[in-house]
Amino acid sequence: MLIVGINGSPNRDGNTVFLLQEALAVAEKAGAETKLLHVKEILDDLESPFCELCSSPCDGSCAEGNKLGEAFELLKQADGVLMGSPVYFGTVSSQLKAFWDKTRVLRREKALLNVVGGGITVAGARFGGQETTLRALHDMMLVQGMTIVGDGYVDYDCGHQGACAQRPAQNDENGIKRARILAQRVVEVAKATMSLRKP
């Protein structure tokens, strides 16, 4: 089983990455292989970081021989995805949106259909747009046909939409706890739905 974390923050070592690493550590403990993608580094490798609808249907030419293509190959193998973003003006970062727009070719291939997804967000305030950002993450994943789960697990409670935290994330005990619970749920549902994904 492969669980992929997607860091939608422009920072490689910020609050979003911290929470993703906490979540991925739980997935590893449960027996999954994990990988972490940094979307800014992937976009920096491209001539144009934005989807320009150069072909319809998408032929994926922008992902040939570069970090974007490597990221797509990894996502094609994923059983679960933990997608994280800081809150920027009540929604996801521009880097994450630009990266996800480029995944049109994965949608055409149904590569993420039935892959289990969960969202992690962090903002500067306790009520700083985390839930609207989670909704945006969920909408992005639903368009790929992914199975969305929240941060509920049988040993805890039924949870909410996903893991929400306030920066500094390493001081937010509740945010850390919810990220860990979310990872358990993603792994649990990914195990239960293995037969629904492409071999």
> Could you give the domains of the chain?
2-193 (3.40.50.360)
DSSP category for residue 36 = E
For residues 9, 56, 105, 15, the Cα torsion angle rounded to the nearest 10 degrees is 10
Whole-model pTM: value is 0.96
Query: What confidence tens digit (pLDDT) does each residue in 129-178 have?
Result: 999 999 999 999 999 999 999 999 999 999 999 999 999 999 999 999 99
Question: What pLDDT, in 10s, does the model give residues 80-113?
Answer: 999 999 999 999 999 999 999 999 999 999 999 9
pLDDT band at 58 (very low <50, low <70, confident <90, very high): confident
Beta-carbon contacts of 157 under 8 Å, excluding residues fewer than 6 positions away, are: none
Residue 184 vs residues 44, 70, 113: alpha-carbon distances, Å: 32, 26, 20
Separation CA 90–CA 99 (nearest Å): 18
Yes or no: say if 159 and 152 are a contact pair by the CB < 8 Å rule.
yes
